[in-house]
Amino acid sequence: MRRRIGIYGGTFDPVHNGHFKVAEAALDAFALDRMLFIPAFAPPHKRKQNISSPFHRLAMLALATADSPRMFVSTIELESPSRPYTIETLGRLQAELQPVRLFFVMGADSFRDVTSWREYEAILSGYDVIVATRPGSHVGGNGGIAGHLAPQLQKRITDLRGAAYPSSRDLANEDPESPRIYLTDYVAVDVSATGVREAVEQGRSIDEMVPPPVAAYIEKYDLYRKT
């Protein structure tokens, strides 16, 4: 049987409790063997933004996951000689980790914008995708954020909103030709990386927004404060 590995990519500037809770929920609901956090050197859609050093972002992820035996941090994109797109990273991981079933984790905002990604149809049709939405959000159907997907991609959607878990049939699926797009709403944490950065800049506490080691790291290295 193939291992089930979650792939959670992003800027993580910084990693916060929302990221962590989503990872925990996905590990539990999908019976994943591990979750790989993959910090991007500079995401293609954010290359004109001011992003913190990848070394700081990597360090914060390592600290946040240190005590979680099924959470790991991968440097696959940071060490790449180029700036890989998501489809390239997934393909490389699929080849290196075989036999494996990859579950790509993305937030609702990313899912709304996914049609702007390089080879997005290959991502949504070639890999299992876990879309993390907030409870009560209206995702899916022609009137929701899945409405911009082609009909053949919409047919891949499994709606697990309402804190439902995937069926044993879904988890046992070993057919590489039939990955699914799972809409989930397991986590109700109202925090964002932008909110964390703004709180630091304004001198407000971030103790309830990020794991304690991350808060200490941000303070020690004086991150997100305007000089």
DSSP string, 25-46: HHHHHTT-SEEEEEE-SS-GGG
Question: Is 224 inside a domain boundary?
Answer: no
Question: Is 203 inside a domain boundary?
Answer: no
Confidence category of residue 141, pLDDT binned at 50, 70, 90: very low
For 101, half-sphere exposure in the C-beta direction (CA atoms, 13 angstrom radius) is: 22
Residue 158 pLDDT > 90: yes
The predicted structure's pLDDT at residue 127: 97
Contact 139, 104 (CB under 8 A): no
Confidence category of residue 189, pLDDT binned at 50, 70, 90: confident
Question: Is 135 inside a domain boundary?
Answer: yes
Confidence category of residue 200, pLDDT binned at 50, 70, 90: very high
For residue 47, what is the domain's CATH number?
3.40.50.620
Q: Report which residue type is found at 113.
A: D
Question: Is 159 inside a domain boundary?
Answer: yes
Residue 175 pLDDT > 60: yes
Residue 213 pLDDT > 60: yes
Structural domain harbouring 112: 3-189
**217 vs 148, residue with greater confidence:** 217
Give the integer Cα–Cα distance in Å for 165 and 184: 9
The predicted structure's pLDDT at residue 12: 96
Distances (CA, A) of 35 to 59, 122, 128, 151, 191: 17, 21, 14, 30, 21
**Residue labelled with tokens 């809409």:** 183
Confidence category of residue 96, pLDDT binned at 50, 70, 90: very high
Write out the two tokens for 140.
């899916």
Percent of the chain, pLDDT > 90?
Answer: 74
Confidence category of residue 83, pLDDT binned at 50, 70, 90: confident
Domain tally for the chain?
Answer: 1
Residue 43 pLDDT > 80: no
Strand-pair category, 3-10 with 34-39 = parallel
Within the chain, strands assigned E span 3-10, 34-39, 71-73, 100-107, 128-132, 157-159, 181-184
For 215, half-sphere exposure in the C-beta direction (CA atoms, 13 angstrom radius) is: 12
Give the integer Cα–Cα distance in Å for 8 and 197: 21
Question: Is 202 inside a domain boundary?
Answer: no
Contact 51, 77 (CB under 8 A): no
Question: Is 160 inside a domain boundary?
Answer: yes
Question: Is 128 inside a domain boundary?
Answer: yes
Confidence category of residue 81, pLDDT binned at 50, 70, 90: confident
Residue 142 pLDDT > 50: no
The pLDDT mean for the chain works out to 90
Q: Per-residue pLDDT averaged across 135-154, rounded?
A: 72
**37 vs 46, residue with greater confidence:** 37
Q: Is the pTM of this model over 0.85?
A: yes
Question: Is 131 inside a domain boundary?
Answer: yes
Residue 138 pLDDT > 60: no
Q: Per-residue pLDDT averaged across 82-100, rounded?
A: 93
